[in-house]
Amino acid sequence: MSIVLKVENLSHRYSSAWAIRDINFEISQNGVIGLLGSNGAGKSTTMNIICGVLNQTEGDVYINGVNKRQDPRLAKKQLGFLPQTPPVYMDFTVNEYLTYAADLRFIEKTKVKKAVAEVMDRTGIAHFSARLIKNLSGGYRQRVGIAQAIIHKPSIVILDEPTNGLDPNQIIEARKLIKEIAQDHTILLSSHVLSEINLLCRDIIMIEGGRMVFSDSMDSFNNYIQPTTVLVRMDNPPAESELLNISGVNKVQFLTEKQCRIWFAGNSNISQSIIIASVQHNWQLQEINLEKSVLDDVFKQLSQQQS
Ligand SMILES: Nc1ncnc2c1ncn2[C@@H]1O[C@H](COP(=O)(O)OP(=O)(O)OP(=O)(O)O)[C@@H](O)[C@H]1O
């Protein structure tokens, strides 16, 4: 499989402190690759450097083998970018804006009309072609942002937190569109939401404190991360102290009257212990779910495993 994006020893310093340090990864063709990290981890810095918005302090970025520093124009031709805030002009219609985007991407004049029509179809915005962008919902504005990122058919598309700020229905629609586009583009998508990365991505790259802490398939990530919390719902829950008496339980937090999150030692068979205790004491257990999505815990586990 051919390598679409290669990032080599990438480091960046804004003033005195390093924002990212020694990031290395390779991405092969098609599918969605997740760039995960908490706020301030260095995701936007990494993406802005890949897209040529920011020049790195050290290291190299190759797009389809082209070094972005040595031949930025050729490298950027093969790349589409949607920054955190869609770079749209509110007073343009969708059609006007995409025509302008096609021009910026050096699409031949005779092919612009067709490219705009195709990309509007692809992103489901053709019916809004004559509407001013300022009169579109956030979800549709995001679609226009995605359309400008793929209008020149780049081999890699960079999406920086594309579902941030959208409502739940818009998030579902945006994810559907991203999956569709990933069938014939490679997508690098950043998010600080682990469940989103889990839903969309085949591979995952994780950055924390400017350092890369994980890079592998989503499956091996899920095997690597041991759950440390369990979400439990009981109709007749006991006092916190009784739950703390169960072997392996470290901490209990009631989220509602009947639902609590239980932290436990990674190697204990916690579900079985809770089920047995519940039957013995008539806690009327209704639901029990192992959780893998408490990001702080994931980062903690990863940094412990690295050291
Ligand atoms: N223009 C800047 N000048 C100085 N420091 C910056 C600048 N932009 C980002 N930083 C710092 O660099 C680090 C990485 O920031 P970055 O925006 O890349 O993180 P992020 O993972 O994208 O976070 P978020 O999810 O909040 O956007 C942070 O410590 C941030 O404060």
- CATH number of the domain that residue 49 is part of: 3.40.50.300
The pLDDT of residue 89 is above 50: yes
| pLDDT mean over 29-41 | 88
Structural domain boundaries, residue 148 = 3-224
Q: What percent of the chain is modeled with pLDDT above 90? A: 69
Domain boundary among 224, 249, 276: 224
Label residue 307 by pLDDT band (50, 70, 90). very low
Domain boundary among 184, 206, 224: 224
Label residue 201 by pLDDT band (50, 70, 90). very high
Quote the ligand 1 centre to 186 CA distance (angstroms).
25
* Cβ neighbour number for residue 14 with a 10 Å cutoff: 10
Are residues 217 and 269 located together in one domain of the fold? no
pLDDT single digits (tens) 66-82: 999 999 999 989 999 99
| pLDDT mean over 116-133 | 96
The pLDDT of residue 126 is above 80: yes
| pLDDT mean over 260-279 | 87
Are residues 9 and 156 located together in one domain of the fold? yes
* Identity of residue 186: T
> What pTM did the predictor assign?
0.78
Are residues 42 and 189 located together in one domain of the fold? yes
Which atom in ligand 1 lies closest to the alpha carbon of residue 84?
A: 27
Those residues whose C-beta lies under 8 Å from the C-beta of residue 110, and which sit 6 or more positions away, are none
CB of residue 37 inside a 6 A radius of ligand 1: yes
Those residues whose C-beta lies under 8 Å from the C-beta of residue 85, and which sit 6 or more positions away, are none
Quote the ligand 1 centre to 40 CA distance (angstroms).
5
Are residues 194 and 245 located together in one domain of the fold? no
Label residue 222 by pLDDT band (50, 70, 90). confident
The pLDDT of residue 37 is above 70: yes
Quote the ligand 1 centre to 143 CA distance (angstroms).
25
Per the CB < 8 A criterion, the answer to whether 228 and 299 are in contact is: no
213/208 Cα distance (integer angstroms)? 7
Are residues 201 and 97 located together in one domain of the fold? yes
Quote the ligand 1 centre to 280 CA distance (angstroms).
51
Give the residue among 24, 27, 38 at the shortest CA–CA distance from 201. Answer: 27
Asked if the structure places residue 176 within a domain, the reply is: yes
Asked if the structure places residue 302 within a domain, the reply is: no
Are residues 103 and 204 located together in one domain of the fold? yes
Q: What's the pLDDT at 116?
A: 97
Give the residue among 234, 203, 235, 231 at the shortest CA–CA distance from 219. Answer: 203
CB of residue 192 inside a 6 A radius of ligand 1: yes
Q: Closest Cα to atom 31, ligand 1: which residue?
A: 40
Query: Quick one: tokens of 259?
Result: 């639902």
Asked if the structure places residue 172 within a domain, the reply is: yes
Asked if the structure places residue 182 within a domain, the reply is: yes
State the DSSP H helix or E strand holding residue 148, giving kind and residue range, or none if neither: helix 138-150
Torsion of CA 57, 88, 171, 129, to 10 degrees: -150
Are residues 219 and 244 located together in one domain of the fold? no
Label residue 221 by pLDDT band (50, 70, 90). confident
Q: Closest Cα to atom 17, ligand 1: which residue?
A: 44
Q: What is the Rg, in whole angstroms, of the alpha carbon atoms belonging to the chain?
A: 23
Q: What's the pLDDT at 302?
A: 66
CB of residue 42 inside a 6 A radius of ligand 1: yes
Domain boundary among 224, 240, 257: 224
Q: What's the pLDDT at 219?
A: 82
Give the CATH number, domain containing residue 270.
3.30.70.1560
8/10 Cα distance (integer angstroms)? 5
CB of residue 45 inside a 6 A radius of ligand 1: yes
Label residue 137 by pLDDT band (50, 70, 90). very high
Q: What percent of the chain is modeled with pLDDT above 70? A: 93
Quote the ligand 1 centre to 44 CA distance (angstroms).
7
pLDDT single digits (tens) 238-269: 999 999 999 889 899 999 999 999 988 766 68
Are residues 53 and 12 located together in one domain of the fold? yes
Are residues 219 and 235 located together in one domain of the fold? no
CB of residue 43 inside a 6 A radius of ligand 1: yes
> What's the number of domains the chain is made of?
2
Asked if the structure places residue 161 within a domain, the reply is: yes
- Best probe residue, ligand 1, of 13, 44, 213 (max atoms within 8 Å of C-beta): 44
Q: What's the pLDDT at 301?
A: 63
CB of residue 41 inside a 6 A radius of ligand 1: yes
Are residues 51 and 175 located together in one domain of the fold? yes
Are residues 13 and 150 located together in one domain of the fold? yes
Asked if the structure places residue 108 within a domain, the reply is: yes
Label residue 283 by pLDDT band (50, 70, 90). very high
pLDDT single digits (tens) 11-32: 999 988 999 999 999 998 878 9
Quote the ligand 1 centre to 18 CA distance (angstroms).
10
Quote the ligand 1 centre to 127 CA distance (angstroms).
37
- Which residues pair with residue 231 across a beta bridge? 261, 289
Q: Closest Cα to atom 23, ligand 1: which residue?
A: 40
Quote the ligand 1 centre to 55 CA distance (angstroms).
14
Least confident interval from 7-16, 94-103, 211-220: 211-220
Asked if the structure places residue 205 within a domain, the reply is: yes
Are residues 81 and 217 located together in one domain of the fold? yes
| pLDDT mean over 46-58 | 93
Which atom in ligand 1 lies closest to the alpha carbon of residue 37?
A: 21
Asked if the structure places residue 298 within a domain, the reply is: no
